[in-house]
Structure 1
Amino acid sequence: MSALEPALRSLTDALLHAVGRRDWAVADAELETLAQEAVAAMVANRTEDLATLARLVVRCHTALALEEGLDGEAMHRLGQLRALALTVAAARGSPPPRPPGALRTPGTPTAAVLSALGSGPRTCPALVEATGLSAEQVGSALPELRAAGLVHSWPAGRLTVNALADGAESDGAEPRTVFRWA
């Protein structure tokens, strides 16, 4: 864990709370601070801090994206988070997403999650129990599976439910992308 992680986690939590309160001045200040931290980490080539920033910015973006009924102001902040996430990913030299076939390779965490979801939708804690993987492994596999269009997720109270996307259960077939408009 980066020494900066607790401060960055507090910053992203404050951003989400500010958006929830519709306090745009505070939300903008938190976003600016995140961006400044990202630039500082890029300039100093602090790879551990960039990894922490990437994880927390994506976490914050996902939490905001799962909110229902976002207005224009909240959507604007969501776009800014997305831009920041892309900037941090580019700075980290993130490899391109793996193809769906590679995610189904037996013995990998992504294949284990796909297999567990074959019996129906599950929350993250249920996936940890079903696969025997750690929460971190499941948490790392899900975004990659979502990006490949193999899994879709939706909020259910305080948890997120994950399910195979249409066509994901057939081996080797490219899944259909399912678009859902809020």
Structure 2
Amino acid sequence: MSTLDSAFQRVGDDLLDAIGRQDWTVADAELETLAQEAVAATVANRRDDLAALARVAARCHTALSLRDDPGGEDLHRLGQLRALAVMIAAARGRTPPRPAESLTAPGTPGAAVLAALRSGPQTCPALVEATGLSAEEVGGVLPELRAAGLIHSWPAGRLTVNALRSGSSP
């Protein structure tokens, strides 16, 4: 966990503590900090920070949702967390793909997936087996390879088949 991830976690912890104490001034300050960090990460296209902020917002939202008999102030902060999560999700959804060069650099999951696809179209489970990567690694890199125009995918029953795009040079 990076230093910034730890800092985001602490802000989330402080937010939940402030809500538990019903210290709305501190709670609002912690929410504002999270929102400012989300805007800064969006503007600077810091994908990892947006992912960390999404985790903190989801954790705080879940914790607050599970409280017994939340009052109006609790519900107000819950709504703010929901809005923050939506903003972060929108920012993460519009983040441009990484350049093809960084996706296909030797030793990266993208390079391994592209090498496996040279033998022909494959499903995600087949790519996991062919590359030795985890399902999470393969599942994480496939959308980026699609967005970069290096592969295309189509549904085949309950699975998705992936193939190199014609004209792409893996």
TM-score of the aligned structures, taking structure 1 as reference length? 0.51
> Which residue does 2:20 correspond to in 1?
20
Pick the structure with greater CA Rg. Answer: 2
Matched, 1:43 2:39: no
Q: How does 1:143-162 map to 2 (within 5 A)?
A: none
Partners of 1:47 and 1:2 lie apart in 2 by: 14
Structure 2: any 5+ residue segments left out of the alignment? 95-124, 126-135, 137-170
**What letter is aligned with 1:68?**
D
Partners of 1:63 and 1:10 lie apart in 2 by: 15
- Percent sequence identity is 65
The alpha carbon displacement at 1:2 in A equals 4.0
Matched, 1:63 2:74: no
Q: Are the structure 2 counterparts of residues 64 and 6 from structure 1 closer, same or farther at C-alpha, using a change threshold of 3 Å?
A: same
Is the contact made by 1:19 and 1:74 (CA closer than 8 Å) also made in structure 2? yes
Partners of 2:2 and 2:21 lie apart in 1 by: 29
**What letter is aligned with 1:31?**
L
Partners of 1:25 and 1:57 lie apart in 2 by: 18
**Deviant stretches of 4+, over 2 Å:** none
Cα deviation digits, residues 147-181 of structure 1 (max 9, x gap)? xxxxxxxxxxxxxxxxxxxxxxxxxxxxxxxxxxx
> Which residue does 2:102 correspond to in 1?
none
SS in 2 for 1:4: helix
> Greater helix percent: which structure?
2
TM-score of the aligned structures, taking structure 2 as reference length? 0.54
> Which residue does 1:73 correspond to in 2?
73
**What letter is aligned with 2:24?**
W
**What letter is aligned with 2:77?**
R
Structure 1: any 5+ residue segments left out of the alignment? 95-106, 108-136, 138-182
SS in 2 for 1:45: coil
> Which residue does 2:91 correspond to in 1?
91
Partners of 1:2 and 1:41 lie apart in 2 by: 15
